[in-house]
């Protein structure tokens, strides 16, 4: 580890997490927002479903770790919701098992620390037409439907209510945009920069309104090494320096 110590945020999930630093992804955006405030670690695994996540959760989040996360953002469900393959192979997980798996993940995370905070992301919608157009011929037919994503999303939301875990309803949030079908995806499933902006906006809403002590909202966290310095850029007056520690003008979006 390097110092000084900061809050640790972990993104844990399938390809929507693994690819969250690509194409203006939501992980990269969060890392920029929390620069000098929190460290964001990526634990994304393309192709994973909740079954694989349960098998690995105690390795990804060991109970005897020297430092436990302040916040874990979890996404599984899209792969689980795919239609079952006749061979029995593939990522499909029945809805009841998916719920049980996500419960196990939540309870394991809660057991790590009394201070740990958790946000689940529910399954976003999909563009079924774009999926068919972009699927590689190396794969057997992918059965992904918006209706199935909705069922898994609703199940995740209900579980979070039962467990008192914060949840982002991505299935609903994405579809608030009139152009969501074409703007939010790169291939009908994975998120474009516009889709990632929706994810960031919803995550920040949850963090800002959560009654967590201490707050993990980026505006509430101290900026590392933010004291004034004679080595900062010199102001136009020529008699003082300007402290740039909290400048955000480089961002296209001024996040709340």
The residues annotated as belonging to the active site are 14, 187, 190
What order of strands is seen across the sheet that includes strand 71-75? 39-44, 8-13, 71-75, 117-121, 166-168
Q: How buried is 62 (Cβ within 10 angstroms: 0-12 exposed, 13-18 middle, 19+ buried)?
A: exposed
- Neighbouring C-alpha atoms within 13 Å toward the C-beta of 241: 10
Task: Render 209-231 in DSSP notation, one character per residue.
Answer: HS--SS---TTTSPPTT-S--TT
CA distances from 78 to 26, 67, 132, 216, 217 (A): 17, 30, 16, 27, 28
Locus of tokens 């874990």:
72
């Amino acid at each position: 580890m390097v110092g000084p110590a900061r809050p640790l945020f972990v993104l844990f999930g399938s390809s929507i997490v693994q690819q969250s630093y690509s194409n203006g992804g939501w992980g990269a955006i969060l890392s920029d927002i929390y620069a000098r405030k929190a460290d964001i670690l990526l634990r994304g695994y393309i192709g994973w479903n909740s079954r694989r996540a349960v098998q690995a959760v105690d390795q990804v989040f060991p109970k005897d770790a020297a430092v436990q996360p302040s916040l874990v953002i979890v996404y599984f469900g899209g792969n689980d919701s795919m239609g079952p393959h006749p061979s029995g192979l593939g990522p499909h997980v029945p809805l009841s098992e998916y719920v049980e798996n996500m419960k196990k993940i939540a309870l394991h995370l809660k057991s790590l620390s009394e201070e740990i905070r958790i946000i689940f992301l529910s399954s976003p919608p999909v563009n079924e037409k774009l999926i068919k157009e972009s699927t590689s011929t190396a794969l057997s037919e992918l059965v992904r439907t918006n209706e199935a994503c909705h069922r898994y999303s609703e199940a995740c939301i209900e579980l979070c209510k039962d467990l008192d875990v914060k949840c982002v309803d991505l299935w609903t949030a994405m579809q608030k945009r009139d152009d969501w079908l074409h703007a939010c995806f790169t291939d009908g499933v994975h998120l474009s920069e516009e889709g990632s902006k929706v994810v960031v906006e919803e995550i920040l809403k949850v963090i800002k309104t959560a009654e967590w002590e201490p707050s993990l909202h980026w505006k509430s966290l101290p900026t590392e090494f933010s004291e004034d310095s004679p080595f900062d850029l010199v102001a136009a007056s020529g008699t003082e320096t300007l402290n740039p520690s909290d400048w955000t003008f480089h961002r296209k979006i001024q996040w709340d």
